[in-house]
Amino acid sequence: MNQSWTRHHILSLANFSEVEYDTVLQTASSFREVLSHGTKKVPPLQGQVVANLFFEPSTRTRSSFELSAKRLSADILNFTPGSSSLSKGETILDTAKTYLAMGADIMVIRHKQAGVPAAIAREMDRLQTGVSILNAGDGQHEHPSQALLDLFTICSFLDSDRPRLEVLKGKKIAIVGDILHSRVARSNIWSLSAAGVDLHLAGPPTLLPEYFADMGNVTLHWHLEPALQDADFVMTLRLQKERMTSNLLPSLREYHQRYGITRDRLKICHPDVGILHPGPVNRGVELSSDLMDDPRLSLISQQVTSGVAIRMALLYLLGTRK
């Protein structure tokens, strides 16, 4: 049993403690270590059921959670809206209760609307089920496992043997792009603020409202250059094409010209700058194509690998919590 972890649900990073961050990073690091020795499976969640309730379609995150759960020897149930009864008048709580009845111990939930994992967590608590909820992305609210894998990626980049929060202290990180609609950015803002990062957000005013300044110790920029100046890491975000139709941007072309990350623009960053992106990347929009494939600069494939270790850590901590 894992004695140090007490959190029952992982819905948001807004009130995560430094100890919790470090526990997650250390646990993920141990799993990475084990897996690197060729071990494909470890037993801690044997007999437990992990239900992936992906009300919003997702291939990458769902696959990552599925692989993580399998490596912990858990049984997996997958729910996708295409095969659901939601169109037959079933509510989100009915769906969750169905998986509860099948014996789910942990529910990994993604929904296109903010607050759905929280609502299901409240219902599970009300029914005293003991089921843990893991938010795998809810609308524009949060995506905690993505931010934690980003954290793990950059902490490992700085100290691969002992990734921990304090190695980030004072580092300059820029998050660039459509911050307004990004659940990844919100979770990243909480985790990187907690790490004492010198955090800068950059994007056009329509996608970066001033209210973000209230989320913590962050600096906002409507021009890219001051955000990139001497940055140790640059996190870019996916730009949804529908932002053009709602008049938030004139065109992808102008967006790329003003906020797209190119090799040329990175010259003002720290010489060892690392680039992150939660994927999938619109090549040539938020990130120029050649940068994405440059292993010296791009940490994108490390992010994907980190994802499995982090999700194993989260499932493990929730599943063995006492």
Query: Which residue, 112 or 169, has its beta carbon nearer to another protein?
Result: 112
Q: What is the 3-state secondary structure (H, E, C) of 36-99?
A: HCCCCCCCCCCCCEEEEEECCCCCHHHHHHHHHHHHCCCEEEEECHHHCCHHHCCCHHHHHHHH
* Beta-strand runs (E) in the chain: 49-54, 75-79, 106-111, 132-138, 172-176, 198-202, 218-221, 233-236, 274-276
Give residue 287's identity as a one-letter amino acid code.
L
| Residue 92 makes contact with another protein by CB under 8 A | yes
Closest contact distance (angstroms) between CB of 220 and another protein is 12
| Residue 57 makes contact with another protein by CB under 8 A | no
Query: Which residue, 40 or 88, has its beta carbon nearer to another protein?
Result: 88
- Contact yes or no for 173/235 (Cβ under 8 A): yes
Query: Which residue, 20 or 138, has its beta carbon nearer to another protein?
Result: 138
Instruction: Identify residues 174-193 at the interface with another protein (CB under 8 A).
Output: 180, 183, 186
Give the one residue of 70, 122, 164, 258 binding another protein; rule: CB under 8 A: 122
DSSP state, 266? G
Give the one residue of 2, 8, 14, 193 binding another protein; rule: CB under 8 A: 14
Both tokens of 248, joined, read 């938030």
Neighbour count for residue 60 (Cβ, 10 Å)? 13
| Residue 118 makes contact with another protein by CB under 8 A | yes
Give the one residue of 214, 271, 280, 295 binding another protein; rule: CB under 8 A: 214
Site mask for another protein (CB under 8 A), range 260-299, x = bound: ----------------------------------------
Contact footprint for another protein (CB under 8 A): 14, 89, 91-93, 111, 113-116, 118-119, 122, 138-142, 180, 183, 186, 209, 211-212, 214-215
